[in-house]
Structure 1
Amino acid sequence: MRDAEPKMAWEATRRGIAEAMADIDGALPGSVVVRHMRCGKSSCACKADPPTLHGPYIQWTRTVDGKTVTKLLTEDQLTRYQPWFDNARRLKELTAMLQIASVHAVERHEGWTTPAKDD
């Protein structure tokens, strides 16, 4: 039965993605950047050549209710929560994979052809 093969492949793909998603513990949205900055004092070492910049400042930025929210993290906090930032990135990747697999499953089921990419 040829129709069963694509369905079995789809189920295996979906199941694999679902299992990978189930392994994710926590996930923190947003981005983390580490910054070194200059201050406004003209006599500060951060204005020297070469400069000794202030920092590191670890900033976690995310959107809450349409507004940008930034929190400063300590190095210990970054170490503690880095796996959750990594998990959020992995969750986005898995969601994209599931969406692509779903589109392919619908196209196969409906007999639609995928538009060719422009080169």
Structure 2
Amino acid sequence: MSREKNKSGTIITIQAQGPILPGSLSTAKSQCGKPNCACKASPNKLHGTYHRWTGFIGGKRTTKTISKEVAKECERRIKNYRALEKKLDEIIADAVANAPWVKPE
């Protein structure tokens, strides 16, 4: 994060550490629809593990089933996104602390 001043005020530049992706990852196992499948037995052997990304696309909550390799890349990008969010939260907290209505001490 860098700050510089110009005639119109302070310019703040933040930069991500790589590609970003909002959302979250999860894993799941599931049963199929076949009545005689081992996933219906007791104890059951569920299908999976399935990796899933959940986030918003076009304003709608969306879940995508992805491969394990893609999930690892998504995890890296989500980590970058969260670090960027943290930096932005710090900038906002500083802006509120120095807002025009705050009396100097």
Instruction: Show structure 2 runs of 5+ residues with no match.
Output: 4-11
Letter of the structure 2 residue corresponding to residue 91 of structure 1? L
When the two chains are superposed, the root-mean-square deviation of aligned CA atoms in Å is 2.7
Structure 1 position 37, deviation (Å): 1.0
Distance 2:76 2:65 in 1: 17
Aligned length: 97
| TM-score computed with the length of structure 2 as normaliser | 0.72
Letter of the structure 1 residue corresponding to residue 80 of structure 2? N
Distance 1:105 1:49 in 2: 62
1:70 aligns with 2:66: no
Query: Which structure carries more strand by proportion?
Result: 2
Letter of the structure 2 residue corresponding to residue 68 of structure 1? R
Render the CA deviation track for 1:56-109: whole Å, top value 9, x for unaligned.
1111122122223332211111223321111112222222222112111226x7
| TM-score computed with the length of structure 1 as normaliser | 0.65
Instruction: Show structure 1 runs of 5+ residues with no match.
Output: 1-13, 113-119
**1:117 aligned partner:** none
Distance 1:67 1:110 in 2: 38
Distance 1:66 1:77 in 2: 23
